[in-house]
Structure 1
């Protein structure tokens, strides 16, 4: 059973005619975009904005109407994946390198729906290396400042092109903290470092998390109090 495909296709029930939809990035979001394209072909009328070049290319191939974020004043729903999800629905994202655009879109969305398989659920964030997007200028200085927060920060590389570059022309530091006991405090400290553009901690942004299990079950997690 393809868990990513199952949970991604289950998310389309939250999409309605007339919505502005944010399209996430990565392998799970890929399946959501493909299902959404099928629905558009069947008559669903939406506008969509993509969080990565790859997602935009796929959406255009499927004839999903893509608009620039400069052309819209709101986003109704964004559907995206995650690398880790804790019990409070805080996330680590950015394994695919699109964390900056993903966070901009997530923050401006009325509802952020995260789609994952059960392997992404954790009791505490940090086992997955935290991606931090930084500018190339004075990279070693920024890397040192990030490591002073208690991690080992490695520069992400691309097997084909050497150093990985984001869609924004920046560099990713993959930061091994092992465990992140206070995500709110860490995100503030990271973003105070000159040279850091954004980090992959998504705090209090997800409204729902759809989780696919190997036994075929689908669980819908919501933030407490909502």
Structure 2
């Protein structure tokens, strides 16, 4: 017998299962593009987790990589658990391919990333990679960037001043906080201010503004970086879009 709320919970669970199926399809297709000897960058997130699993299967079948760099401790632990040796970005001069997820991606293959808080390392890995592939399910695809808060990593010493500046500009800032209400601290000891302006009125103009703002370490606008997007759709098809 269903108890109160159970029906909604079952629907939510089925929806999550469908989304995970889509993520896994995209991840497996991306894993098939990795070649022997590649110096590979690996991102983080739920879709990338499926990618790492598929990469582990390919390793068991004989795949050997020239180097592996990742953007999170979670991905590092998963990779090492599958027998990969993970290097630091500073120890690899150039990556051949980076595979990562995205929080939003538009028709120009520009995106918003950093929902997990690793935007600074993610962008550093991406710009030092010859090719960047993003793997997403169709819920992440938008006509115009928006529908997701834009993360901005800021120095603690001037975080309040930067916050006030963003507020004066009408960017609807909020400090990211933890489950206990404390300010979220990044891997590099900085804070994140999420901008809730939606949709982003002029992504390139906003990126230029953020790049020139003193106290901003990095932002989650990834413009002109992605080369290929693998999109898993609910009907079971896969779209591959290239810049």
Instruction: Give TM-score, length-normalised by structure 2.
Output: 0.88
Task: Give CA-to-partner distance per residue, 1:184-210, whole Å, 9 cap, x none.
Answer: 111110121111100000001110000
Runs of 4+ in 1 over 6 A off after TM superposition: none
Counterpart in the other structure of 2:121: 101
Moved more, 95-104 or 146-155: 146-155
Task: Give CA-to-partner distance per residue, 1:102-121, whole Å, 9 cap, x none.
Answer: 00111111100000000111
Counterpart in the other structure of 2:39: 20
- The 2-side partners of 1:196 and 1:11 are apart by 33
Q: Is 2:43 aligned against 1:39? A: no
Counterpart in the other structure of 1:56: 76
Q: Is 2:220 aligned against 1:200? A: yes
Aligned length: 223
Counterpart in the other structure of 1:72: 92
Q: Is 2:9 aligned against 1:4? A: no
Residue 162 of structure 1 and its aligned partner are, at CA, apart by: 2.5
Q: Is 2:188 aligned against 1:188? A: no
Counterpart in the other structure of 1:153: 173
- The 1-side partners of 2:181 and 2:70 are apart by 24
Moved more, 68-77 or 198-207: 68-77
Counterpart in the other structure of 2:105: 85
Larger Rg: 2
- The 2-side partners of 1:80 and 1:107 are apart by 13
Counterpart in the other structure of 2:187: 167
Work out which of the residue numbers 129, 139, 151 in structure 2 matches 1:131: 151
Residue 59 of structure 1 and its aligned partner are, at CA, apart by: 1.0
- The 2-side partners of 1:149 and 1:184 are apart by 16
Task: Give the secondary-structure state (helix, strand or coil) at the position aligned to 1:79.
Answer: strand
Instruction: Give TM-score, length-normalised by structure 1.
Output: 0.95
Unaligned segments of structure 2, at least 5 residues: 1-17
Task: Give CA-to-partner distance per residue, 1:21-52, whole Å, 9 cap, x none.
Answer: 00001111111112112211221111200011
Q: 1:150 to 1:161 in 2, by over 3 A?
A: closer
Judging by fraction of residues, say which structure has more helix.
Answer: 2
- The 1-side partners of 2:168 and 2:147 are apart by 18
- The 2-side partners of 1:177 and 1:43 are apart by 47
Task: Give the secondary-structure state (helix, strand or coil) at the position aligned to 1:186.
Answer: helix
Task: Give the secondary-structure state (helix, strand or coil) at the position aligned to 2:130.
Answer: strand
